[in-house]
Amino acid sequence: MSQERVFDDIVTEFLLNTCRLRPQISKHVVQAVQECTDVMNVHPLNHTEGVIIPLTTGSVAEFYIEPMLPLCGDIDVMFHLSTELAIPRGHPPPTQLPPEFHNYVHVFEIVDSHSPGYVYLELRYFLKECTEDKKYACNEYKGWTHLGNHFWHGEDLCIHGPARVLGNFGYAPMFSTDQVSCLRCLSWLPQAADWPKRHRNYDWPESATVDRVVNNGCDVVGVAHHECKKDEWISKRQWRLSFSRAEIVLINSWIPVQQIIYHMLRVFVKTERLTDSSNTSEVFEFSNYHIKTLMLWACELKSSSFWNGDLNFIKNMCRTVAHFVCLAY
């Protein structure tokens, strides 16, 4: 056996023995719960009624393994107002809503923009819950109003994309937090209609997981396409489709080997500083989002033997990287 193979086997055994199932309570999970509680206690700006409904996303929600190197650099929390809802354009307004929604709800239609994945939100309906049968009566809005994408206000705020970034406060176990405001869409969008139906050679994700993803719907987050930032009107009204709920379900359905390789790829990208290219450079910048998207794609295109037929993490990661390059280019 070659020295290289011995080294690979040692690394594989180490990762298998140290990447255990995450305990139910960790310091990241505790802070995520605290952040959700804090968000819920904030009264919505310019809203006299309704509450804020949070959702933990990102690494804290996606991973069920707990390796020695930390998975979570920060805490990600999305939240939406109980008085607002988004629906696909042309869909009828709902007559029933989950219990967390208020008895008076503004309904916005999702309208495509010229940038794929980016949309506008047009106010179309007012829903009011009837006390008799708990169903919602609908009144159509006759005006023409686009919802603005700026939830956060103040000169001292640190904004990154759609998120307000709250820094580390200097004492453990406090981590930086990204808070993202969004609108909830309870339906699966026509823009992604092909995803549940497309052919899958290796039955991943399985039909039950696909159904769960579709039934969870999606969200829209308040941020404009980078090429539209200079347009004053568009930059304040463009929103981005978000499938964070789907990603959480899909990544939690991976086998441990896939989660470990995904973690290794993220560490590799970070330690090799592949995300640090200058804005003027022509070199492609990787991010965790690129790794996540390509990994999800690879899981769908590759059989189970690709991941655990030869349980060698170094080899599998190199094969996955090579597959990423083929997919990206």
pLDDT in tens, 262-304: 888 888 777 765 555 444 444 456 678 888 988 898 899 888 8
For the beta carbon of residue 126, count every other beta carbon within 10 angstroms.
16
Q: Which residues contact 20 (CB under 8 A, 6 or more apart)?
A: 65, 66
pLDDT winner (highest mean) among 19-28, 195-204, 270-279: 195-204
**Is residue 191 predicted with pLDDT exceeding 60?**
yes
The answer to whether position 240 is within a domain reads yes
Query: Taking the mean position of all CA atoms in its chain, how far away is CA 41?
Result: 23
pLDDT in tens, 121-157: 999 999 999 988 889 999 999 877 899 887 655 555 6
pLDDT in tens, 232-272: 889 889 999 999 999 999 999 999 888 988 888 888 777 76
Residue listed under structure tokens 């030869």: 310
Burial of 236 (0-12, 13-18, 19+ CB in 10 A): middle
Residues 235 and 329 in one domain: no
Q: How far apart are the first and last CA of the chain?
A: 35
Residues 138 and 267 in one domain: no
Check residues 195 and 142 and name the one with the higher pLDDT. Answer: 195
Do 308 and 283 meet the contact criterion of CB atoms below 8 Å apart? no
Last residue of a domain, one of 200, 231, 253: 253
Number of structural domains (the chain) is 2
Check residues 175 and 141 and name the one with the higher pLDDT. Answer: 141
The pLDDT value given to residue 67: 78
Residues 94 and 166 in one domain: yes
Do 218 and 246 meet the contact criterion of CB atoms below 8 Å apart? yes
Lowest mean pLDDT among 140-144, 191-195, 199-203, 235-239: 140-144
Last residue of a domain, one of 227, 253, 279: 253
Q: Provide the sign of the torsion angle of the four alpha carbons 305, 60, 167, 242, taken in this order.
A: positive
**Is residue 172 predicted with pLDDT exceeding 70?**
no
pTM for this one? Answer: 0.82
**What domain range includes position 270?**
254-329
Residues 172 and 93 in one domain: yes
- By residue count, the chain amounts to 329
The pLDDT value given to residue 145: 87
Q: Measured between alpha carbons, how far is residue 208 from residues 9, 205, 292 in Å?
A: 35, 8, 21
Q: Report which of 294, 281, 291, 213 is spatially closest to residue 253, judged by C-alpha positions.
A: 213
Residues 267 and 244 in one domain: no
Which DSSP symbol is given to 323?
H
Angle (CA) 239-209-200 rounded to 5° is 90
The answer to whether position 194 is within a domain reads yes
Q: Work out the pLDDT band at 106, boundaries 50, 70, 90.
A: very high
Residues 42 and 71 in one domain: yes
Q: What is the DSSP string of 252-269?
A: HTS-HHHHHHHHHHHHHH
Residues 316 and 175 in one domain: no
Residues 171 and 306 in one domain: no
The pLDDT value given to residue 169: 47
pLDDT in tens, 40-75: 555 544 555 678 888 888 888 898 888 776 666 678
The answer to whether position 10 is within a domain reads no
pLDDT in tens, 77-105: 888 999 999 999 999 999 999 999 999 99
Structure tokens at 27: 């310091």
Residues 159 and 292 in one domain: no
Last residue of a domain, one of 203, 220, 253: 253
The pLDDT value given to residue 73: 67
The answer to whether position 18 is within a domain reads no
Q: Work out the pLDDT band at 5, boundaries 50, 70, 90.
A: low
Q: Measured between alpha carbons, how far is residue 149 from residues 48, 225, 237 in Å?
A: 19, 12, 5
Residues 191 and 47 in one domain: yes
pLDDT in tens, 69-83: 666 667 888 889 999
Residues 262 and 249 in one domain: no
Query: Taking the mean position of all CA atoms in its chain, how far away is CA 124?
Result: 26
Residues 88 and 166 in one domain: yes
For the beta carbon of residue 288, count every other beta carbon within 10 angstroms.
16
The answer to whether position 175 is within a domain reads yes
The pLDDT value given to residue 281: 46
The answer to whether position 3 is within a domain reads no
Structure tokens at 160: 């990154």
The answer to whether position 189 is within a domain reads yes
